[in-house]
Amino acid sequence: MLDFEKKHDHIVCIDSDGCAMDTMNIKHIRCFGPCMVKEWELSEWEQEILERWNEINLYSLTRGINRFKGLSMALSEINEKYRKIDGVEELCVWSETAPELSNSALESMIGTSPVFEKALRWSRSVNEEIEKLPQEEIKPFEGVKEAFSLIHESADIAVVSSANPEAVRNEWERFGLLEMVDVVCTQEVGSKSACIKMISEKGYEKDHILMVGDAPGDRKAAEENEILFYPILVKHEDESWTEFRTTALDKFMKLSYEDYGVEKKKQFERNLDTGES
């Protein structure tokens, strides 16, 4: 059970990377993909592999996928197209069946197959590279802090993210966001759906919980828990946060969100399907 107290009747759950924080592109382009190429010695096909990594993780309907699921997908394709990846089948099974996908969960698999040691080394390298990114390039989208201030007046706030917990806390604290957050749920707690379920068990009604996210996984987590969803549209993030402040939050607080939410989901799907993302 999550260790926090319900203060308001409403709660807004907010994803971090690519939603509140403008960090998705830089982390994948400079950290995730290159670390995979290095760990599995794939430099011979680096350009094609990095392009495919970014497509999987940034510019398609799998945007926002958990890092280990993304790694499994990429390595499976590399195994078929470029060269044999030892243990890729075991990694895929683990990423699809493990109750928790995190470094600590991966540590328990060490010794069962060398692929898990490589995956853990890759994940830790990614975290190290993310920490080295210039701080001035890691920032919230425009209007996020103002949105948090508005939410904080009348609702609880939860971080619901599949990202590395240390990075999330450091980034949100640096920009004065963490002080307005009631609970942080990152990859070590469980899936986004599991996190929302634990949050709802604190006593919130379904229509009093809103998930704000930028990826299909955020919408899926909301739908699995029968709560509301507000999309941050890829390449239209600033406009999305403006609309959240001026329209969405008010509808949510007044319990008149449902029809509006249906239209926002359609807009979310169109935005991804048009290739803008």
Regarding whether 17 and 37 lie in a shared domain, the answer is: no
Q: What is the pLDDT of residue 276?
A: 47
The confidence band for 7, taking pLDDT boundaries of 50, 70 and 90, is: very high
| The last residue of a domain, from among 135, 157, 181 | 135
Assess if residue 5 is contained within a domain.
no
pLDDT digit string, tens, across residues 230-274: 999 988 999 999 999 999 999 999 999 999 999 999 999 888 875
Regarding whether 102 and 52 lie in a shared domain, the answer is: yes
The confidence band for 135, taking pLDDT boundaries of 50, 70 and 90, is: confident
Domain count, the chain: 2
Assess if residue 226 is contained within a domain.
yes
| The last residue of a domain, from among 135, 157, 172 | 135
The domain that holds 145 is classified in CATH as: 3.40.50.1000
- Calculate what percentage of the chain has a pLDDT beyond 70: 98
d(CA 75, CA 113): 15
Regarding whether 121 and 102 lie in a shared domain, the answer is: yes
Regarding whether 269 and 151 lie in a shared domain, the answer is: yes
Regarding whether 66 and 15 lie in a shared domain, the answer is: no
Regarding whether 67 and 38 lie in a shared domain, the answer is: yes
Is the CB of residue 198 less than 8 Å from the CB of residue 185?
A: yes
Q: Please give the backbone phi and psi of residue 159, each rounded to the nearest 5 degrees, phi first.
A: -85, 125
Regarding whether 163 and 115 lie in a shared domain, the answer is: no
Is the CB of residue 105 less than 8 Å from the CB of residue 98?
A: yes
Regarding whether 238 and 161 lie in a shared domain, the answer is: yes
pTM of the model: 0.77
Residue 102's alpha-carbon distances to 46, 55, 118, 140, 255, in angstroms, are 26, 22, 14, 24, 36
Is the CB of residue 140 less than 8 Å from the CB of residue 149?
A: no
pLDDT digit string, tens, across residues 53-88: 998 998 888 888 889 999 999 999 999 999 999 999
Q: What is the pLDDT of residue 1?
A: 55
| The last residue of a domain, from among 135, 163, 194 | 135
Residue 42's domain comprises: 24-135
